[in-house]
Amino acid sequence: MKLKEHYLLMKASLLKAGIEEAGFEAKQLIKRVLGIDDAELLLNRLELSGEQQETLSELCRKRCGGYPLQYLLGEWEFYGLPFLVGEGVLIPRQDTETLCEWVVSRFSDRQGVKILDLCSGSGCIAVTLEHYLPGSTVWALEKSKTAARYCEKNIALNQSSVRLVLDDALDPAFAETGFDLIVSNPPYLSEEDMGRLQKEVSFEPREALEAGKDGLAFYRELTRIWTPRLKAGGILAYEVGIHQKEDVCSLLEAGGLDGIGTRRDLCGVERVVYGMKPCEENKEEIKWQ
């Protein structure tokens, strides 16, 4: 069968299964299985072998069942960098680029920034920050062994110097302190959210998602445990879920942080909440955005 015929069959099946970007997804799967790029795909005069057709049909069948495209591809782009993904690790989301973008703009004129990324998963935040803030020293802390293995591979894939720590962010053995910045995109779904997960998300690890009855368990504990590890004037910055901004701002305020601010993502959702550990010189400092 010709490539184009198979592409049209796959697109039709994906559309029927309710997948909005059916054409895009079919092309991604074809490029992955055939090992071709966009230019070769456009030529589309290729004849598919029986084995290639079978592989593509199997991937298409899984995708129609809600299995995430990113797991089928095994790799996904985040902030212009490649990340390996698969079962057991959260797929890097575009929402999370907002946190990275804010940090990069905030710290781009600083040298030798000492950064810790808690609940690192694939390592997308840690690797991105180390890449776009040259000269920074970045640690990635993750509890899940499976996720940490992906993080390790992603550090190597991106020729990054991020230091991976396998540890529990809620009961850490890791003793490093004096960070300029601690960032985290922790689990933040409430019990109620967990009960109505999208089909695709239900294939991702529960420990990457669930955060107690109100979804705030990690923000509460991470703020308490890690604020003392910031330098005076250091920043704690979180990604937050929809409608969590107010609660997380209050938690940072209750945790003694100053200059609390927020940042919206491309959809207008308040996605980042940050605060600064006070120091004598900045007690009166204006609140920055």
Ligand X SMILES: C[S@@+](CC[C@H](N)C(=O)[O-])C[C@H]1O[C@@H](n2cnc3c(N)ncnc32)[C@H](O)[C@@H]1O
Cα 220 to Cα 240: distance, rounded to the nearest angstrom:
12
Which of 133, 145, 242 minimizes the C-alpha distance to 183? Answer: 133
Cβ at position 41, least distance to ligand X in Å = 28
Phi, psi at 26, each rounded to 5°: -60, -45
Q: What separation in angstroms does the CA of 91 have from each of 71, 174, 213, 224, 251?
A: 8, 25, 23, 27, 27
Nearest to ligand X by Cβ — which residue? 121
Cβ at position 171, least distance to ligand X in Å = 7
Residues 6+ apart with CB under 8 A from 2: 44, 45, 46, 47, 48
CB 89 within 8 A of CB 185: no
147 touches ligand X (CB under 6 A): yes
144 touches ligand X (CB under 6 A): yes
Site residues for ligand X, 199-258, by CB under 6 A, read 207-208
Give the number of residues written for the chain: 289
Phi, psi at 180, each rounded to 5°: -75, -30
Please identify, using beta-carbon distances, which residue of 116 and 125 lies nearer to ligand X.
125
Cβ at position 97, least distance to ligand X in Å = 10
Site residues for ligand X, 49-108, by CB under 6 A, read 90, 92, 96
- Partners of 47 in the β-ladder: 2
Cβ at position 137, least distance to ligand X in Å = 18
Of 116-124, 228-236, 243-251, 270-278, which segment contacts ligand X by CB under 6 A? 116-124
Please identify, using beta-carbon distances, which residue of 90 and 237 lies nearer to ligand X.
90
Cα 106 to Cα 100: distance, rounded to the nearest angstrom:
10
Per-residue interface string for the shown chain with ligand X, residues 148-177, x marking contact by CB under 6 A: --------------------xxx-------
User: Measured in whole angstroms, how far is the alpha carbon of residue 259 from the centre of its chain?
Assistant: 25
21 touches ligand X (CB under 6 A): no
Of 21-29, 118-126, 192-200, 255-263, which segment contacts ligand X by CB under 6 A? 118-126
Cβ at position 260, least distance to ligand X in Å = 21
Please identify, using beta-carbon distances, which residue of 6 and 263 lies nearer to ligand X.
263
Q: Which residue has the tokens 């592409």?
A: 7
121 touches ligand X (CB under 6 A): yes
Label residue 256 left, alpha or beta by phi (over 0 means left) and psi (-120 to 50 means alpha).
Answer: left
Cβ at position 86, least distance to ligand X in Å = 13
Pairing type for strands 81-84 and 75-78 reads antiparallel
Cβ at position 169, least distance to ligand X in Å = 3
Cα 140 to Cα 163: distance, rounded to the nearest angstrom:
6
Q: Using CB under 6 A as the criterion, which residues of the chain lie in contact with ligand X when the complex forms?
A: 90, 92, 96, 119-122, 124-125, 141-144, 147, 168-170, 185-187, 207-208
